[in-house]
Amino acid sequence: METPRGLPPFPLSPTGPAQHIASGTLVGARHAIDHVDDAVVALAGLRRRLVGAVHRSKRVAGLPVRDGEREAGVLSRARRVAARVAVPGDTADALMHALMSDACRQQVQAGNAGPRPAVRISMSTPVASRSFSAARLLRLLPPPRRLRPLLRRLPRVAHEPLAERILARAVRRVDPVTLDLVRGRRLGIELEDLGLAWVFAWSGERLLACHEPAEATVRGSATDLFLLASRQEDADTLFFQRRLILTGDVELGLTVRNLLDRLPWEDLPLGLRIVLHRGSHLLRAARDAHRA
C-alpha cells in the first residue's frame, strides 16, 4: 500500500520523542517571549519618562506638541533599523505609530492638567529620582541566569545555527591568510549564566560549529561577553578581573583574541554593530540595577 502523497512514511506517535522535544521547545519559546514582552513594556515606560522631559522643554520653549519633521525622521530611522534586523517595515511603522500616538496623548493630557506649581530646583533630587525610576524599570528585565532553566530545554539545533551565523558574519572581513593560523583549531565559547556552550572551528573557507571537544574555551557571563564583543570592555581587563576565564590551549585562545582585536569595528555589518552596542549597554545597565 502506497503512502499518501505529502505524508511521512512512518507517522510519529503523539507521545513520541519528536513531539516531546517540540512540546518542550514550544513551552520554552513562549516563556522567553513573555520575558521579551515584559522588556518591551518596561522600555515603553522608560520612553514615556523621556517624553515627559520633552514635553516640559516644549512648554518652556513655546513649541507645539506635534512635530511633523521629527515624526517623519522617527519613522524613517525605525525602518532602517528594521531592515537590518529582518523586521517587516509595516511592523516597524505600526510600532512607532503606536508609540508616537501614546506620546502625543501623554503630552496633551499633561498640558490639560494645567501648569505645575513652582518648585525649588535642586541639583541632586531630580537626577536621583530619574536614576531611581530608570533602575526600577531595568530591574524588570530578567537577569540572564533566570533564563538558564528555559534555555536548557531548547535543543542545540535551536540556538547553535544562530550563534554560528553571527560569528561567521563577524569574521568574514578578516584576512583569510591571517585566519589560516587557526585553520582546523577548535575554540569553545561558554555563557555560564545562560548555560549555553558552543565549539567553533575555521575550515579554511567558513566558520563552522562542531561537536568535538574544544582545544581552548573562553568562559564568562553573557553580559561580559557582549561587552567584549561590542568593544565596550577591554579583553585584558576582563581576564585580569577574572570575569572571563580562558582554559585549555592558552596560546590558541590568545591567538584568536589577537585576530579579533585586529578586526576594525567599522568593518562589522552595521546591523550587527547596532545590536552589539545597544545590547551591551542595556545588559550592563540592567546588571548594575539588579546589583543595586
| Residue pointed to by grid coordinates 541566569 | 145
Confidence of residue 15 (pLDDT cuts 50, 70, 90): low
Sheet with 207-209: list strands edge to edge: 207-209, 196-202, 186-191, 216-220, 244-248
pLDDT more than 70, % of the chain: 80
pLDDT at 20: 67
Instruction: Identify whether residues 224 and 155 lie together within a single domain.
Output: yes
Query: Average pLDDT, stretch 186-201?
Result: 91
Instruction: Identify whether residues 132 and 190 lie together within a single domain.
Output: no
Cell of 48: 514615556
Asked, for residue 271, whether it belongs to a domain, the answer is yes
Confidence of residue 225 (pLDDT cuts 50, 70, 90): confident
In one-letter notation, the amino acid at residue 40 is V
Taking Cα atoms as reference points, which of 60, 62, 90 lies closest to residue 78?
A: 90
Q: What is the CATH number of the domain that holds 38?
A: 1.20.59.10
pLDDT at 189: 92
Confidence of residue 117 (pLDDT cuts 50, 70, 90): very low
Cell of 98: 503606536
Per DSSP bridges, beta strands 244-248 and 196-202 are: unpaired
Instruction: Identify whether residues 130 and 211 lie together within a single domain.
Output: no
Least confident of 45-49, 115-119, 132-136: 115-119
Provide the residue range defining the domain that includes 213: 146-291
As for how many domains the chain has, the answer is 2
pLDDT greater than 90 at residue 23: no
Q: At what angle do helices 160-171 and 270-291 cross, to 10 degrees?
A: 120
Q: Is the pTM of this model over 0.85?
A: no
Confidence of residue 32 (pLDDT cuts 50, 70, 90): confident
Most confident of 6-10, 44-48, 195-199: 195-199
